[in-house]
Homo-oligomer: A and B are copies of this chain.
Amino acid sequence: MTVKPAPTENLLTPSEVATLFRVDPKTVTRWAKSGKLSSIRTLGGHRRYLESEVRELLTGVPQQRSE
């Protein structure tokens, strides 16, 4: 099949974001609930986070998105 040039944003799991920030996954959830961090939801309700946004918050430097 043809592999399209995925206009896809890389997503991170809650635990991955938590590891990057050295906090508890629950804290990451609180950030999402309070609107400090945007999130995508799986069909089961689990959250996924935009890697570019997380990187930017970590470094303070705007990251390049793949879209």
Q: Which of B31, B37, B48 contacts A22 (CB 8 A)?
A: B48
A3–B21 alpha-carbon span in the complex (Å): 17
CB closest residue in chain B, given A1: B13
Point out the residues of chain B lying under 8 angstroms from A1, CB to CB: 13
Give residues 34-60 of A contacting B (CB, 8 Å).
36-37, 40, 42-44, 48, 57-59
A-B complex: 5 closest residue pairs judged by Cβ atoms: A11-B22, A36-B43, A22-B48, A31-B43, A21-B42
A-B contact pairs, 12 of them (CB 8 A): A1-B13, A6-B19, A10-B22, A12-B22, A13-B22, A21-B42, A21-B48, A27-B42, A36-B43, A37-B43, A40-B58, A40-B59
